[in-house]
Chain A
Amino acid sequence: MSDFPALAERVLAQARAAGADDAEVFLHESRNFSTRVRQGTTETVTEATTRSLSLRVFVDQRMARASASDLNAETLDGLVRRAVERARLANPDPCAGLPEEAAEAVSADGLGLYDPMLETLAPADKIALARETEAIGLRLDPRIRNSGGAGFSAHCGQVWLANTRGFCGSYRASTCSLGLYLLGQEDRSQAQVSDYWFSAARQRAKLESPEAVARRTVERVQRHFGARKVATQEVPVVFEPLLAGELLADLFGAVSGEAIYLRRSFLVDALGEKVAAAGVTIIDDGLLPGGLGTRPFDREGVGSQRTVVVESGVLRNYLCGSYAARKLGRKSTGNGSGNGESPTNFFLAAGEKPPEEIIRSVERGLYVTRLIGQGVNLVTGDYSRGAFGLWIESGAFAYPVHEVTIGGTLRGMLEGVEAVGTDLDFRDPFAAPTIRIATMTVAGT
């Protein structure tokens, strides 16, 4: 919206006039498209343009927040006034406030966040991508007997952020994704199996082709045929990249500043300690060109950076917004979400072992292809999740496995990372290559 500076100026001035020492206003405008095609029929098409505004006000080190999708001047006036009134009812907190670091808005140039082509791509072309993906998937193998549908979505938008300390920044960003969910049955007497695959990118041109997404989905379904349970035992566990990425999402929760000052993490008081095997280096990189988690600045206006969280097994940094940084006596790492911390591109750095070699190195163990359920306690690090996968015997896949759980502790898993693959795959803001963990409890029969 071209009038954002004027709107921001007005809202910030109102907050000041109502008695706020400081204020911050954030606006997000987005054009959204999503479709799902199933069995060749366009099941849903959703289109919209939306806006939402949110603000924070500070009065004598007391904070309040408000948000609205209704940008009517009268609505906003009331929201600002009431936010200042509510802030006065909070307890003073010496750590509350806008970030000191926010000065100049960082440019988004060169970060590859926005693809104007996604704005002009016709709905019919978007639907065609999903249709083609599903059609290829359905004809690759007669044992693929049903489809949950193929989906394509695109979001193009712009964010603006301004505060009373003089920060005013804006950038455009887009994302698109193409995914497929298929079901298979080896023969009519066998149990149904299912799996999915997807590609996601900032740019249309970076999205994998319908053919690639369909083939990968079919391969993933095929490998579940004839799945069985295994006996309960302790074995090495190999996570394929998508699943190792889920592990990174769990870890993020344990290194975020808020979890640390609230002592809700098994990594409290562990800076400088060896918490993982030497091959483990974990990075949060907000400036990775084209990354799904890339942004020039965070939700508080602090410029993005590359932060090494774990360096060759040693915990070096917690990820902080400005509030947690003050609580912990550290500096913001550009991970402020305005309400705790959010990741940028949070990933396990690639290692030197080709994934095939990692699988070959396992005498007997489980290769995990799907995890379901919660079961991660970040306070203690206890880990227990439902798993689907492939059993490895003598370095090769023997048969698929279902209805088992894998259990351990996150600390034990990190320390037990024996091999890190070369196949780091950025399909999500949380990313990792194939990893092998020395031992976990696989619970089955």
Chain B
Amino acid sequence: MSARELFERQHGLDSRQLGRVLSEALGGGGDFADVYLEYRQSSSLHLEESLLKESSEAVALGAGVRVVAGEQTGYAYTNELSLEKLLECARTAASIAAGAARSGSIHLAPRAVPARYPAGRPAHQSAMSEKTEFLRAADAAARRADSRVREVSANWSDEWRQILIANSDGELVADSQPLFAFGVSVVIEADGNPSGKSLGASRQAGWKNLGLRAGLEAFSGEKAEGLAREAVAQAATLLTAADAPAGELPIVLAAGASGVLLHESVGHPLEADANRKRLSVFSGRLGERVATELCTVVDDATLPGLRGSLNVDGEGTIPRAATVLIEQGVLRAYLQDRLSARLMKMAPTGNGRRAGYTSIPIPRMTNTYLAAGESDPEDIIRSVERGLYCKAFSGGQVEPAVGKFTFSVHEAYLIENGRITRPVKGATLIGSGVDILENIVAVGHDLELDRGAWACGKEGQSAPVGVGTPTVKITRMTVGGRR
């Protein structure tokens, strides 16, 4: 059943009734109103100690009505999908505005959306046994890979989110969004330490995950096994790792997940709300050179099937093309939602996302990456006398107003005399977004979009996102090691 049919047949909410709700919402004035209806089915499986210990299913049903007046937003939401409840939400949300009712009824016309999620076999309709096999395959592969593996946890989750958005511009947009994630983590304990006495360094963890907006055809037992072996290899490597160095060092980022650095240092500070309110280090700098010419940074919701890919954002805007944020070092665009776009007199970019019906849309990233350059990745490593090669990450954080950001490396290696030598333990790297962009001095031709199950947090809302980068060299960053 399409999202439109679902809300119409099961809750009696057709386009005429949604039009009434919108009229009520603008009954006290306001520039814009929308209704967001959501039905989300999600399920998850958890295996640990080689036992499938639990499965869960969740059903989330709700709707929110938003009224925008100038810079102001009124919002009300409910779990009860009836016309009366939606009208009540409309009146509550309307209290933000003060003015004359907008005259004339609102006629809603459905808009076609593109099809960017290859969901050949929707996960939410597939048998639990098939997904369970992924977890068992990962568990067995991890234990086979290394006899020192002490614990293995594996998780599967999938969701099917059906949304219907109606707004006072007369648009009616529906979408059905699949999403799945698989994760495996292992604990490995060094030989000769049977009691596991707490020495810290004798025990290490490794983890890998993968998430896509696609169906089960995009995953397999073999992929689960491969990720499990990678997690074990990571833990085994870390078991032999020395403390990371402390202080400023040249940095080489491996292609792929290192895109977290761009997400934090550039992505968040380029969200339109922060720039409109002058809460970002990039406020008012459109058209200026903010990075070396090697840097082209793109946000692209239109890529098929990635974590951050979208047919339509959380307020009914259909992303039509990649948004080039920085083009050869020059700042070109911000990540826009409708509110900021209107106030800044710019076009929406389809980045108005919301975690669900309990949240208002705010500017967010989708799939954000640094475009490929021309350098050979091997040459980049060879050009570093002493530095840090960063391979796997546990996340990052930024303070957009001052531009300081961190990203935490889980797996890293020393570069000595142009060669990757010894592994070092995880450490946090800190820098300033503005400086980093000026310090990117080599960009590889090996762009890789990471498949990791990244989740981005902002104002209490979580959003699945994609990150990516080619191999990159940064002249220096502060490494938070201990040596």
Chain A residues with a Cβ under 8 A of chain B: 38, 41-52, 63-71, 75, 79, 82-83, 86-87, 89-91, 93, 96, 123, 146, 148, 183, 191-194, 229, 232, 262-264, 266-270, 273, 372-375, 377, 379-382, 384-386, 388, 402-409, 411, 441, 443-445
Contact = CB atoms under 8 A, between A and B. Distances in A.
Interface of B is mostly: strand
Contacts of A38: 277
Given A46-B76, A386-B397, A406-B480, A65 B54 contact: yes
B92 interface: yes
Contact of A93 (B51, B75, B196, B401): B51
A73 to B, nearest CB: 13
A265 B244 CA distance: 21
Contacts of A146: 277-279, 401
B79 A42 contact: no
Contacts of A44: 72-75, 360
B18 to A, nearest CB: 19
Contacts of B78: 48-50
B55 A89 contact: yes
Nearest to B185: A264
A270 B480 CA distance: 28
B378 interface: no
Contacts of B189: 263
Interface in B186-210: 187, 189, 195-198, 200-201, 203-205
Interface string B402-421: 10111110100000000000
A71 B81 CA distance: 11
Nearest to B428: A375
B56 interface: yes
Interface string B320-333: 00000000000000
B480 A266 contact: no
A24 B397 CA distance: 38
Interface string B71-111: 11111111100000000000010011000000000000000
Interface string B255-297: 0000000000000000000000111010000000000000000
28 contacts: A41-B70, A41-B72, A42-B72, A43-B73, A64-B56, A65-B57, A66-B58, A69-B59, A70-B61, A91-B53, A148-B277, A192-B401, A192-B402, A232-B248, A269-B198, A373-B406, A377-B410, A380-B200, A380-B201, A382-B425, A384-B426, A384-B482, A386-B428, A405-B480, A441-B482, A443-B247, A443-B478, A443-B480
Interface string B57-73: 11111101000001111
Interface residues of B, number: 82
Given A48-B77, A93-B51, A264-B187, 4 more contacts: A52-B79, A96-B53, A183-B279, A441-B482
B187 A263 contact: yes
A281 B70 CA distance: 52
A402 B430 CA distance: 10
B438 interface: no
Contact of A91 (B51, B57, B71, B150): B51
The 9 closest A-B pairs by CB, nearest first: A405-B480, A373-B406, A375-B428, A386-B406, A70-B61, A232-B247, A443-B246, A91-B51, A375-B408
B151 A86 contact: no
Contacts of B60: 68-70
B482 A386 contact: no
Contacts of A407: 246, 427-428, 480-482
B25 to A, nearest CB: 14
A444 B479 CA distance: 8
A95 to B, nearest CB: 9
A123 B405 CA distance: 36
Contacts of B129: 89
A380 B204 contact: yes
B404 A386 contact: yes
A52 B356 CA distance: 15
Contacts of B58: 66-68
B464 interface: no
B55 A86 contact: yes
Nearest to B434: A191
Contacts of A93: 51, 53
A441 B57 contact: no
A382 B426 contact: yes
A384 B479 CA distance: 9
A68 B59 contact: yes
Contacts of A266: 198, 200, 203
A94 B106 CA distance: 60
A229 B430 CA distance: 11
Nearest to B61: A70
Interface in B367-406: 394-399, 401-402, 404-406
A141 to B, nearest CB: 17
Contacts of B176: none
Nearest to B44: A65
A90 B277 CA distance: 51
B52 interface: yes
Output the residue of B57, B73, B244 with the most chain A CB within 10 A: B57
Given A193-B402, A266-B198, A384 B428 contact: yes
B430 A403 contact: yes
A49 B426 CA distance: 43
A67 B95 contact: no
A69 B200 contact: no
B198 A67 contact: no
Contacts of B246: 232, 405, 407, 441, 443
A194 B401 contact: yes
B223 to A, nearest CB: 22
B407 to A, nearest CB: 7
B128 interface: yes
A89 B55 CA distance: 9
Contacts of B427: 375, 384, 405, 407
Contacts of B358: 48, 50
B390 to A, nearest CB: 13
A372 B264 CA distance: 12
Given A90-B52, A267-B198, A407-B480, A50 B77 contact: yes
A385 B54 contact: no
A373 B427 CA distance: 11
A45 B74 contact: yes
A372 B404 contact: yes
Given A372-B397, A373-B396, A148 B279 contact: yes
Contacts of B230: none
Contacts of B205: 264, 377, 379-380
B14 interface: no
Contacts of A374: 394-397, 406, 408, 428
B402 A443 contact: no
Contact of A384 (B54, B79, B408): B408
B48 interface: yes
Contacts of B482: 384, 407-408, 441
Output the residue of B56, B72, B428, B482 with the most chain A CB within 10 A: B428
B247 A444 contact: yes
A67 B159 CA distance: 14
Contacts of B96: 42, 45
Contacts of A64: 54-56
Given A146-B277, A380-B203, A382-B425, A445 B248 contact: yes
Contacts of B430: 373, 386, 403-405
B48 A90 contact: no
Nearest to B478: A443
B432 interface: yes
A444 B245 CA distance: 11
A138 to B, nearest CB: 14
Contacts of B405: 372, 386
Contacts of B150: 263
B153 interface: yes
